[in-house]
Amino acid sequence: MKQSLHIPSLKTAHILKDTDLSRQEILSLYQLTNELRRQFMKDRQRSLSLLEGRTLGMIFEKNSTRTRVSFQVGMYQLGGNAIHLTTNDIQLGRGESMEDTARVLSRYLDAIMIRSNSQEKVDVLAANSQVPVINGLTDIYHPCQALTDYYTVAEHLGPRARVGYIGDAANNVAISLAYSGAILGYDLVFISPQEYSLPEVHKKEVVKLMQVSGGTFTETDNAAKGVLGCQVLYTDVWVSMGMEKEAELRKKKLEPFSLTSILLQKAETHPYIMHCLPAKWGEEIQPELQDYDRNLIYEQAENRMHVQKAILVSMMLG
């Protein structure tokens, strides 16, 4: 099976942020994703044995459902193993340095995935690791999520579409969606109140990337105007982990940016809807949309496993 697969050879040693991958590398990962997913659909119980004898270490400083399960099951389907490590399981929780953690774990493992409160910690881990490090989420980036989301969009709309992101555009998911969308050449519309717009430092880089890819980036604080013409509308929670003290203020400011059936009608395109989950139904997205006929939320969640399998195979074998 390995011989018949097109396994990309990535230039980067690690995937720490979206810009670590070029457009061509992302498209090659999508091609491998298609091949791995076809095999999965053909025989769900069969391990491909591509990563037999290899082990992924998964470090979690933050709770996880989709990241943990998709990486762990993905490794199992590829014939490998995955070890779940919280800071209570290893000495990071007692003050061991990230440098020493990287130097030791990379002597045991074939790759490390980390879900952390700090991008800086992940960068330090990678700088001291002998094996590939994959960012499973930090305070700034969520590259595996964004890569999966555009894979899902491309399946339904092809390589070019108008994607609207509505709500808190200053969080890690929005930032990664902006970068990956810019690399791939999508037309992005970010719809949010000004105080929760895409941070200026990222906006400048996104615009530069768009000049190369041919995509476009616009933003507005007018929800009805912003959704017009969007083929996809994407939202995320208003109150992320660690923001609980700001909850009431955020809900008040973001309430006009809730994804509703009425707002979908204003798009005039019968758009697909997406959400990275977990969702607060009744806040950023309304409950009636769970049964909406163009709901891609659960499909994109499933695709996390398939895209990440392609990442794992490419980083360990490519």
What pLDDT is recorded for position 177?
A: 98
Handedness of CA 149, 151, 155, 161 (dihedral sign): positive
Q: How far apart are CA 10 and CA 83, in angstroms?
A: 24
Contacts with 23 (C-beta within 8 Å, 6 or more apart), sequence order: 183, 184, 185, 213
Per residue of the chain (318 residues), give pLDDT as tens: 555 788 999 999 999 999 999 999 999 999 999 999 998 888 765 667 899 999 999 999 998 999 999 999 999 999 999 999 998 888 887 889 999 999 999 999 999 999 999 999 999 999 999 999 999 999 999 999 999 999 999 999 999 999 999 999 999 999 999 999 999 999 999 999 999 999 999 999 999 999 999 999 999 999 999 999 999 999 999 987 677 888 899 999 999 999 999 999 999 999 999 999 999 999 999 999 999 999 999 999 999 999 999 999 999 998
Alpha-helical runs (H) found in 43-168: 66-77, 98-108, 119-127, 143-157
Position 241 scores a pLDDT of: 67
Q: Tell me whether residue 170 is exposed, middle or buried, using C-beta atoms within 10 angstroms of its C-beta: 0 to 12, 13 to 18, 19 or more.
A: middle
Which of the residues are catalytic?
A: 115, 142, 145, 236, 276, 304
Interatomic CA distance for residues 161 and 293, integer angstroms = 19
Helix (H/G/I), strand (E/B), else coil: 134: strand
Q: What is the pTM (predicted TM-score) of this model?
A: 0.96
pLDDT recorded at residue 47: 66
pLDDT in the model for residue 308: 98
- Nearest-angstrom CA–CA distance, 226 and 142: 24
Position 39 scores a pLDDT of 87
Going along the chain from its start, the domains and CATH numbers come out as: 2-141+304-317 (3.40.50.1370), 143-300 (3.40.50.1370)
> Residue 221 — φ and ψ, nearest 5°?
-105, 15
* CA max distance for the chain: 55
Q: Residue 148 contacts by C-beta under 8 Å, 6 or more apart in sequence?
A: 300, 303, 304, 307, 308
Task: Give the DSSP letter string of 169-238.
Answer: TTSHHHHHHHHHHHHHT-EEEEE--GGGSPPHHHHHHHHHHHHHH--EEEEES-HHHHTTT-SEEEE--S
Please state the φ and ψ torsions of residue 147, each to the nearest 5 degrees: -60, -40
What's at 150, amino acid-wise?
A: Y
Letter for the amino acid at 112? I
